[in-house]
């Protein structure tokens, strides 16, 4: 075989192999094209750093050209959903973009980092092979059915069952990875594909969730105290009115005794009347003290409720104004 013939065969084989290699490496080629001229903004880099995204996760994140948007209208234009639904981030399938709402309230620090990690995991899930998805689905379902104890997470998943039943495992994949402190070793190993320190992401989640939970707990405690104290005050008020009516009747009777010169009888009954007056006055003092405590509790409740409204307002991306209840 001539040298020219050998070279021709090699070239032909190479040309035939190019489509196969291209198909096999299509994701890397796509990533290269998307990242070739992309220079991530510093805010996006900071989100990746704080979320402890490793090189693989960072590439997935950057391929989606993440945008941090503080304007509600602009954010909702990119993250379409029901107008009455609060959302803080979204991922467009097939690596078509990640958008994160820029929450300004400093008390909710970390919420953007968790949202970014959550959406990155959606993009990562999108890239899983059928074999990997089957494996990961098994891990997620096992944890959900046999180990999940967090009631808030359970409630979140129940909500997704109604709103996004076809994406339930996809949502579990993002939620478990960013919001649950301790997972089975198999899941921890899986998420180490994306995070160098997943605990740091979960700590952000716990911090900002705590801002809501602590205030809701306080508000609920105040509500119980206010309700109980109100019932007590109402009972005291009824009792004091009854006492006052009896005192007024007794006073009129004593006046009648004195006016009719039944002085001895009058004097014998004055002490009992005065004791009743003392009891009534003590009751009035206690009533006023409880009313002051009630008013103080209402003020404290209103303050906490106001803080909750502020926090919810900071993450309220709904387009239509909502009625306060």
With helix as H, strand as E and coil as C, how does 272-325 read? HHHHHHHHHHHHHHHHHHHHHHHHHHHHHHHHHHHHHHHHHHHCCCCCCCCCCC
Residue range 20-36: average pLDDT?
A: 68
Token digits for 163? 């709103």
Ranking 73-87, 141-155, 250-264, 279-293 by mean pLDDT, the lowest is 73-87
pTM (2 decimals)? Answer: 0.82
Convert the pLDDT of each residue in 158-197 to its tens digit.
Answer: 999 998 899 999 999 999 999 999 999 999 999 999 999 9
What does the alpha-carbon distance between residue 150 and residue 231 come to, in Å, rounded to a whole number?
35
Convert the pLDDT of each residue in 98-118 to its tens digit.
Answer: 999 999 999 999 999 999 999
pLDDT for 319 equals 64
Beta strands 97-101 and 67-69: pairing type?
Answer: parallel
Residue 321: pLDDT above 90?
no
pLDDT band at 18; cut points 50, 70, 90: very low
For the chain, give every domain's residue range. 10-207, 209-314
CA-nearest of 277, 272, 286, 295 to 237 is 286
pLDDT for 318 equals 84
CA-nearest of 107, 127, 78 to 319 is 78
pLDDT for 21 equals 44
- Given the structure tokens 């105040």, which residue do they identify? 222
What does the alpha-carbon distance between residue 20 and residue 11 come to, in Å, rounded to a whole number?
15
Return the percentage of the chain with pLDDT > 70, whole number: 88
Q: Taking a C-beta distance cutoff of 8 angstroms, is the pair 126, 95 a contact? A: yes
pLDDT for 317 equals 92
Mean pLDDT score of the chain: 90
Q: How far is CA 295 from the centre of its chain?
A: 30
Burial class of 33 by CB neighbour count within 10 A (0 to 12, 13 to 18, 19+): exposed
CA-nearest of 37, 84, 26, 86 to 65 is 37
pLDDT band at 27; cut points 50, 70, 90: confident
pLDDT for 84 equals 53
Instruction: Indicate the DSSP class of residue 196.
Output: S
pLDDT for 22 equals 45
pLDDT for 91 equals 96
Residues in the chain, how many? 325
Residue range 284-300: average pLDDT?
A: 98
Instruction: Indicate the DSSP class of residue 226.
Output: H
pLDDT for 31 equals 86
Rg (the chain; Cα; Å): 35
Ranking 60-69, 156-165, 166-175, 293-302 by mean pLDDT, the lowest is 156-165
pLDDT for 24 equals 45
pLDDT band at 30; cut points 50, 70, 90: confident
Q: How far is CA 194 from the centre of its chain?
A: 23
Q: Taking a C-beta distance cutoff of 8 angstroms, is the pair 126, 169 a contact? A: no
């Amino acid at each position: 075989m001539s040298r020219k013939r050998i070279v021709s065969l090699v070239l032909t084989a190479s040309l035939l192999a190019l489509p196969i290699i291209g198909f096999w490496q299509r994701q890397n080629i796509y990533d290269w094209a998307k990242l070739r001229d992309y220079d991530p903004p510093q805010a996006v880099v900071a989100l990746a750093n704080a979320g402890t995204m490793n090189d693989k996760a960072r590439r997935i994140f950057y391929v989606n050209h993440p945008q941090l948007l503080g304007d509600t209208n602009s954010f909702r234009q990119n993250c379409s959903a029901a107008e009455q639904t609060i959302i803080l981030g979204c991922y467009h399938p097939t690596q078509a973009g990640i958008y994160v709402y820029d929450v300004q309230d400093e008390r909710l620090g970390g919420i953007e980092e968790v949202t970014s990690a959550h959406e990155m995991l959606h993009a990562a899930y999108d890239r899983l092979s059928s074999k990997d998805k089957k494996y990961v689905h098994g891990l997620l379902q096992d944890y959900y059915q046999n180990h999940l104890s967090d009631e808030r997470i359970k409630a979140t998943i129940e909500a997704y069952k109604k709103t996004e039943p076809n994406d339930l495992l996809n949502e579990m994949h993002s939620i478990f990875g960013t919001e649950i402190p301790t997972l089975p070793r198999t899941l921890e190993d899986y998420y180490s594909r994306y995070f160098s320190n997943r605990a740091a992401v979960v700590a952000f989640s716990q911090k900002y969730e705590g801002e809501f939970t602590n205030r809701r707990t306080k508000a609920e405690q105040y509500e119980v105290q206010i309700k109980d104290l109100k019932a007590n005050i109402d009972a005291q008020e009824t009792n004091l009115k009854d006492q006052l009516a009896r005192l007024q009747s007794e006073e009129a009777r004593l006046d009648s005794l004195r006016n009719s010169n039944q002085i001895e009888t009058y004097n014998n009954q004055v002490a009992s009347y005065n004791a009743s007056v003392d009891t009534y006055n003590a009751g009035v003092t206690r009533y006023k003290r409880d009313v002051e405590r009630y008013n103080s509790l209402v003020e404290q409740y209103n303050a906490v409720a106001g803080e909750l409204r502020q926090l919810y307002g900071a993450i309220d991306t709904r387009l239509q104004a909502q009625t306060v209840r």
